[in-house]
């Protein structure tokens, strides 16, 4: 069991304070790690249902606004559906995950979660030819 | 105007009543209301005041003088009293008119460039002249300048006719110097010459003008006139000897020409053209053209009329030097009117010699005494002077009698061959100027679609003493075979000599295999050849799939914010036609480059940005910034597009029932033309974008360009790109693609399977190695796949773009997007 710190690192050079998530297992597949993060995000959202969802991926039927996504009608977000979206985004280079000092590319790869492991999410941009 | 009418009535009432004190009050009241505009309404009053009997005028003068002293009013009111006094001045004794005050008023005027003619300051001058005194030269100058610019101001024109001395306006170095040499008496032929020069107000000298000039030259001697006038012209453009006070809204008058003297300059230029030709003449006229076209804030080119006179003069001189100067100016001058004149002059020469315009420009390049390509040897006594061209500069070398090299000019040369030395030095300067003009001309040949017959080309290019130094550093194709010049021969890539051929073209990397391009770069390096401009390393712009999708326009350089004035001059240099956009209700065509050899017209659509006068515009109301839009191509004869200066749709201006013409599909544009046009546009954006300006860190006016600014950078890395670099430095080793990435200078190099890519850390733009082809990949605007959320502390989007590009390109074999694949 350990406390994993999630850091959403972006590119301004600053890092967020990060937030902790208790994880009972010592080893976990990356897929499961992402699912835990999304579940936690959605649970926090659903508990308060603010107007803007701030999370890893954009929920369906929302509008992009400053610092998040506005829901067209106030509702609860489905954590399963949101997890699916997140996994799809990962596969499509929507974000990348660093665990400690290493980037993980395979969803099925198992991660050793020592105490205080830092998991970093790095956002990427969808690209097309111009 | 009602108040003017009632004021007039009141004045008339007081005249009828004979109450001069009240009359003075009413006149001053009316004058205060006119804000310095003594317009037509006043002529009646002026007449009424002038017609007053002597005794009443005397009383009125007393009353006005009293008010002048007692009111202790602002300068404008004092000036009005003086003006009114000027009107009633006739046959009153001098001391009625506050002569000291009037003189002070006039003297102050001498520090100005000109004044508003309706302020009727001529009345002060008339009053002063009526006393039999002369006006100070600086005061004469301001009246002359004002009269030239004033519209419907006969009173000023009449006044100025009486101001015949000094012959030129004081305050300009060349004019002051010229007047020192002129006695000023009417029988001095120099004086007559200057008076004659001042009559050069037409665009071309008439036969009568020439004849009179010839007669005057005859009395002095052609040689003396030539030398003297050249010494005057050498001073044109020097800072003013009497600086003028710049008024609000007035342009940078101290850097302009005195418009009165400018007429004399035109006459002097014409004068030179009827003297026997001399290399110095061509040089001086060329310099006069360039000096006169220098731009001045709020004014534009200093004095196009003088520049045009210089061109006219050059075109009348039948000498090789003059033709060379015309050809040189044709590559330098961007001011449309003058450029047109140059064009006409060269065209006329070409027709006279039965040659094409291109050929005449080629033949016009003089050798300046060079005897072999890039070298000349002159014997000055027992000393040898060597001139050699290194790059685009000429370098002097000296050998003494013993054949030993000496560093500086030997004393014997300075002593015994001063004139020859002077001429050599001047020629060397001409060489430097001509070399850069020729390099620019050659750079333009890509779009001119020139082909040459082999023999003519050898003579005019490869073996030409001056042009050869450039041509030998370029790549050509002889009968389709690419060649360069090395070890005394034209050689192929494999160094096989090529000695004959029939048709020659300038080599361009478009349509060449990247392997060939790289091979030529290696070849140039191996032979230690530095090209005079980018040819083997020229950036190539190929049609992208996005442009195939948009069909008739390219969005590649849209949505940039450019500094308008910088863009405007760059565009002119690159052969584009553009109109400065003013923040007014007017319309303008887009920036246009015509490609007559291709039957095409390229357009870059732009519009003025912002609406705050003074913040988004210059003092004179031209926009500081432009927003950019599409690049399009039309048949060259298609009707002109235009749009409102402050934005809105472009639409075609159709006259006489013309049919609208659709833009051409980009796929139909020849790749070379497309590449060169987009290269120009990329240059405009790369140089003129506000994104380059580090002082715009705050996003410019109102911060509204913040995002644009921070998302943009070319050239050297700015601070935000440096930060990016530091971040990448830390981040990359942790990534799965770490072994494919290296940070070098301004770029993140990513090794893919197909190419190695260089991603610019400032702009996020990609160049592909080996041939620096631009790879166009942009963020998807409406992604269909699930999107990552905006993390709460959204940072630098460009870094995200760079990282995303790196991730994608490191696995370039897995790219499926056809719009990207087609570029690889």
- Please give the Cα distance from B266 to B262 (Å, whole number): 6
Look up residue B72 and give its two tokens: 């202790």
Q: Is residue B529 part of a domain?
A: no
Q: Per the CB < 8 Å rule, is B804 touching A125?
A: yes
CB B122 within 8 A of CB B159: yes
CB B196 within 8 A of CB B211: no
Q: What is the pLDDT of residues B460-471, one digit of tens each?
A: 999 999 999 999
Identify the three-state secondary structure at position A67.
Answer: coil
Query: CA geometry: angle at B500 spanning B496 and B505, to 5°?
Result: 90
Domain chopping of chain A, boundaries: 2-123
B155, B279: one domain: no
Beta strands (DSSP E) in B673-802 are 741-744, 747-751, 756-760, 766-769, 773-775, 777-779
- Whether the pLDDT of residue B574 is over 80: the answer is yes
Q: Which of A89, A102, A127 sits opposite B786 (nearest CB)?
A: A89
CB A62 within 8 A of CB A71: yes
Residue B271: Cβ within 10 Å count: 25
Which pLDDT score, from 0 to 100, does residue B792 have? 35
Q: What is the ipTM of this complex?
A: 0.82
Averaged over successive runs of 10 residues, the pLDDT of chain A (130 residues) comes to: 63 55 83 90 84 78 67 83 89 83 87 80 76
How many secondary structure helices (H) and strands (E) does chain B include?
Answer: 31, 26
Q: What is the pLDDT of residues B750-800, one digit of tens each?
A: 999 989 998 888 778 888 877 777 788 877 755 555 555 544 334 566 777
Give the number of C-alpha atoms closer than 13 A to the C-alpha of residue B716, restricted to the C-beta side.
4
Q: Is residue B368 part of a domain?
A: no
Residue A118: Cβ within 10 Å count: 15
Kindly state whether B75 is in contact with chain A, defined as any CB-CB distance less than 8 angstroms.
no
Average pLDDT score, chain B: 86
Give the number of C-alpha atoms closer than 13 A to the C-alpha of residue B333, restricted to the C-beta side.
29
Distance between B697 CA and the closest CA of chain A, angstroms: 15
- Please give the Cα distance from B757 to B333 (Å, whole number): 39
Q: Which residues 767-786 of B are in CB contact (within 8 Å) with A? A: 776-780, 783, 785-786
Give the chain A residue nearest B780 (alpha carbons).
A127
Which pLDDT score, from 0 to 100, does residue B794 have? 44
Q: Which of B735, B736, B788 sits opposite A56 (nearest CB)?
A: B788
pLDDT band at B457 (very low <50, low <70, confident <90, very high): very high
B149, B256: one domain: no
The range of the structural domain enclosing residue B776 comes to 716-822
CB A74 within 8 A of CB A49: yes
- Please give the Cα distance from B381 to B364 (Å, whole number): 31
Tokens 């809204």 locate to: B249
B557, B624: one domain: yes
Q: Per the CB < 8 Å rule, is B793 touching A58?
A: no
Q: Is residue B641 part of a domain?
A: yes
B651, B682: one domain: yes
Tokens 């500069």 locate to: B393
Kindly state whether B93 is in contact with chain A, defined as any CB-CB distance less than 8 angstroms.
no
Percentage, residues of chain B above pLDDT 90 = 38
Give the chain B residue nearest A67 (alpha carbons).
B792
CA B318 to chain centre: 28
Q: Per the CB < 8 Å rule, is A128 touching B791?
A: no
CB B102 within 8 A of CB B138: no
Q: Which of A67, A86, A129 sits opposite B792 (nearest CB)?
A: A67
- In this prediction, residues B104-125 reach a mean pLDDT of 85
B674, B723: one domain: no
Q: What is the pLDDT of residues B5-62, one digit of tens each?
A: 788 888 888 888 888 888 888 888 888 777 777 777 788 888 888 888 888 888 888 8
Which pLDDT score, from 0 to 100, does residue B496 have? 94
Let me know if B5 is exposed, middle or buried by CB neighbors in 10 A (0-12, 13-18, 19+).
Answer: exposed
Q: Is residue B411 part of a domain?
A: no
pLDDT band at B709 (very low <50, low <70, confident <90, very high): low
CB B625 within 8 A of CB B647: no
pLDDT band at B218 (very low <50, low <70, confident <90, very high): very high
- In this prediction, residues B642-656 reach a mean pLDDT of 83
Identify the three-state secondary structure at position B374.
Answer: coil
Which pLDDT score, from 0 to 100, does residue B695 have? 56
Identify the three-state secondary structure at position B281.
Answer: helix
**CA-based radius of gyration for chain A:** 15
Inter-chain Cβ pairs, chain A and chain B, closer than 8 A: 153
Q: Is residue B705 part of a domain?
A: no
The residue among B511, B455, B460 whose CA lies nearest residue B478 is B455
Q: Is residue B131 part of a domain?
A: yes
The residue among A90, A88, A60, A93 whose CA lies nearest residue A75 is A60
Let me know if B433 is exposed, middle or buried by CB neighbors in 10 A (0-12, 13-18, 19+).
Answer: middle
Strand pairing class (A2-9; A118-123): parallel
pLDDT band at B654 (very low <50, low <70, confident <90, very high): confident
Q: What is the pLDDT of residues B365-412, one digit of tens each?
A: 888 889 899 999 898 888 999 999 988 888 888 998 888 888 888 888
- Please give the Cα distance from B257 to A85 (Å, whole number): 71
B92, B204: one domain: no
B182, B318: one domain: yes
Kindly state whether A55 is in contact with chain B, defined as any CB-CB distance less than 8 angstroms.
yes
B569, B663: one domain: yes
Which pLDDT score, from 0 to 100, does residue A92 have? 80
**B622 CB-near residues (< 8 Å, 6+ apart):** B564, B565, B580, B581, B582, B583
B647, B759: one domain: no
The residue among B428, B334, B332, B451 whose CA lies nearest residue B378 is B428
Q: What is the pLDDT of residues B122-137, one digit of tens each?
A: 888 888 888 888 999 9
Question: Mean pLDDT highest for which of B83-92, B93-102, B341-350, B422-431?
Answer: B341-350
- Phi/psi at B268 (5° precision): -65, -35
Distance between B601 CA and the closest CA of chain A, angstroms: 23
Q: Is residue B432 part of a domain?
A: no
Determine which of B788, B790, B799, B822 to mutate to test the interface with A (most A C-beta atoms within 10 Å): B788
Which pLDDT score, from 0 to 100, does residue B711 have? 56
Which pLDDT score, from 0 to 100, does residue B668 have? 95
How many structural domains are present in chain B? Answer: 4
Give the number of C-alpha atoms closer than 13 A to the C-alpha of residue B681, restricted to the C-beta side.
30
Q: Which residues 57-86 of A are in CB contact (within 8 Å) with B? A: 57-58, 64, 66-69, 85-86
- Please give the Cα distance from B779 to B801 (Å, whole number): 7
Q: Is residue B533 part of a domain?
A: no
Q: Which residues 507-546 of B are in CB contact (within 8 Å) with A? A: 544-546
- Whether the pLDDT of residue B680 is over 70: the answer is yes
pLDDT band at B262 (very low <50, low <70, confident <90, very high): very high
Task: Calculate the alpha carbon distances from B158 to A110, B49, B123, B152, B281 in Å.
Answer: 100, 21, 12, 12, 37
pLDDT band at B274 (very low <50, low <70, confident <90, very high): very high
Q: Is A89 left (phi over 0), alpha (psi -120 to 50) or beta?
A: alpha
B135, B10: one domain: yes
B21, B153: one domain: yes
Q: Per the CB < 8 Å rule, is B788 touching A12?
A: no
B105, B193: one domain: no
Look up residue B31 and give its two tokens: 């004058």
Identify the three-state secondary structure at position B256.
Answer: coil
CA B413 to chain centre: 40
């Amino acid at each position: 069991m350990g406390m994993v710190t999630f850091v959403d690192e972006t590119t301004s050079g600053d890092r967020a304070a990060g937030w902790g998530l208790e994880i009972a297992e010592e080893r976990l597949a990356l897929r499961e790690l992402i699912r835990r993060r999304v579940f936690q995000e959605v649970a926090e959202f659903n508990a308060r249902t603010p107007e803007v969802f701030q999370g890893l991926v954009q929920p369906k039927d929302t509008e992009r606004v400053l610092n998040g996504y506005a829901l067209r009608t106030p509702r609860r977000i489905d954590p399963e559906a949101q997890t699916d979206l997140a996994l799809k985004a990962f596969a499509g280079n929507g974000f990348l995950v660093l665990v400690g000092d290493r980037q993980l590319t395979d969803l099925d790869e198992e991660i050793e979660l020592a105490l205080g492991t830092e998991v970093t999410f790095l956002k990427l941009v969808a690209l097309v030819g111009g | 105007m009602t108040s003017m009418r009632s004021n007039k009535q009141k004045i008339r009432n007081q005249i009828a009543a004979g109450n001069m004190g009240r009359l003075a009050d009413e006149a001053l009241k009316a004058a205060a209301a006119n804000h310095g505009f003594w317009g037509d309404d006043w002529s009646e009053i002026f007449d009424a005041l002038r017609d007053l009997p002597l005794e009443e005028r005397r009383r009125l003068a007393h009353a006005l003088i009293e008010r002048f002293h007692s009111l202790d009013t602002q300068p404008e009111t004092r000036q009005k009293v003086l003006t009114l006094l000027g009107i009633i001045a006739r046959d009153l004794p001098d001391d009625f008119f506050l002569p000291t005050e009037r003189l002070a008023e006039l003297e102050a005027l001498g520090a100005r460039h000109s004044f508003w003619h309706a302020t009727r300051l001529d009345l002060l001058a008339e009053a002063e002249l009526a006393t039999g005194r002369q006006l100070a030269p600086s005061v004469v100058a301001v009246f002359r300048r004002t009269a030239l610019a004033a519209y419907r101001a006969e009173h000023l024109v009449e006044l100025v006719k009486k101001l015949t001395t000094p012959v030129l306006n004081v305050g300009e170095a060349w004019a002051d110097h010229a007047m020192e040499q002129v006695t000023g008496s009417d029988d001095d032929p120099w004086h007559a010459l200057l008076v004659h020069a001042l009559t050069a107000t037409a665009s071309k000298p008439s036969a009568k003008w020439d004849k009179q000039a010839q007669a005057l030259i005859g009395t002095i001697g052609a040689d003396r006139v030539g030398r003297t006038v050249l010494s005057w012209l050498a001073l044109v453009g020097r800072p003013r000897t009497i600086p003028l006070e710049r008024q609000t809204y007035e342009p940078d008058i101290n850097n302009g020409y005195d418009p009165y003297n400018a007429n004399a300059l035109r006459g002097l230029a014409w004068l030179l053209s009827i003297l026997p030709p001399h290399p110095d003449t061509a040089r001086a006229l060329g310099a006069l053209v360039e000096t006169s076209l220098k731009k001045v804030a709020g004014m534009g080119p200093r004095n196009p009329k003088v520049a045009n006179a210089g061109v006219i003069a050059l075109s009348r001189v039948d000498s090789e030097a003059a033709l060379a100067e015309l050809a040189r100016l044709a590559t330098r001058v961007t001011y449309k009117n003058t450029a047109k004149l140059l064009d006409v002059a060269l065209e006329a020469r070409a027709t006279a010699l039965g040659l094409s315009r291109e050929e005449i420009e080629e033949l016009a390049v003089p050798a300046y005494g060079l005897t072999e390509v890039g070298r000349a040897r002159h014997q000055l006594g027992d000393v040898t002077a060597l001139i050699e061209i290194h790059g685009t500069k000429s370098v002097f070398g000296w050998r003494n009698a013993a054949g030993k090299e000496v560093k500086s000019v030997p004393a014997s040369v300075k002593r015994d061959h001063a004139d020859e030395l002077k001429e050599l030095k001047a020629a060397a300067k001409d060489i430097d100027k001509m070399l850069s003009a020729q390099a620019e001309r050659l750079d333009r040949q890509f779009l001119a679609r020139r082909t040459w017959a082999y023999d003519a080309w050898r003579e005019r290019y490869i073996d030409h003493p001056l042009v050869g130094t450039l041509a030998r550093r370029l790549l050509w194709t002889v009968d389709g075979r690419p060649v360069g010049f090395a070890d005394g021969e034209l050689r192929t890539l494999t160094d096989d000599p090529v000695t004959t051929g029939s048709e020659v073209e300038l080599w361009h990397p478009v349509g060449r295999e990247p392997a060939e391009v790289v091979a030529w770069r290696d070849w140039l390096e191996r032979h230690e050849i530095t090209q005079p401009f980018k040819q083997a390393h020229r950036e190539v712009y190929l049609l992208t799939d996005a442009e195939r999708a948009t069909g008739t326009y390219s969005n590649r350089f849209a949505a940039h914010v450019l500094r308008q004035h910088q863009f405007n001059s760059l565009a002119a240099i690159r052969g584009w036609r553009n109109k400065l956009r003013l923040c007014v209700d007017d319309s303008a065509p887009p920036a246009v480059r015509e490609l007559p050899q291709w039957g095409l017209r390229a357009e870059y659509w732009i519009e003025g940005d912002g609406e705050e006068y003074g913040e988004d515009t210059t003092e004179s109301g031209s926009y500081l910034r432009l927003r950019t839009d599409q690049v399009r191509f039309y048949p060259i004869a298609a009707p002109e597009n235009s749009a409102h200066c402050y934005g809105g749709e472009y639409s075609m201006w159709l006259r006489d029932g013309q049919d609208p013409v659709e833009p051409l599909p980009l796929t139909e544009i020849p790749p070379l033309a497309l590449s060169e046009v987009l290269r120009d546009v990329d240059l405009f954006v790369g140089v003129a974008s506000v994104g380059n300006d580090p002082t715009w860190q705050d996003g410019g006016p109102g911060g509204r360009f913040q995002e644009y600014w921070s998302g943009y950078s070319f050239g050297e890395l700015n601070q935000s790109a440096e930060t990016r670099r530091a971040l990448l430095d830390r981040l990359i080793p942790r990534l799965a693609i770490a072994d494919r990435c290296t940070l070098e200078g301004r770029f993140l190099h990513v090794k893919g399977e197909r190419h190695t890519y260089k991603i610019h850390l400032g702009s996020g733009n990609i160049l592909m190695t080996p041939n620096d082809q631009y790879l166009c990949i942009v963020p998807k605007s409406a992604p269909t796949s699930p999107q990552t959320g905006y993390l709460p502390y959204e940072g630098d989007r460009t870094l995200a773009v760079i990282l995303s590009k790196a991730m994608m390109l490191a696995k370039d074999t897995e790219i499926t997007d056809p719009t990207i694949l087609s570029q690889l």
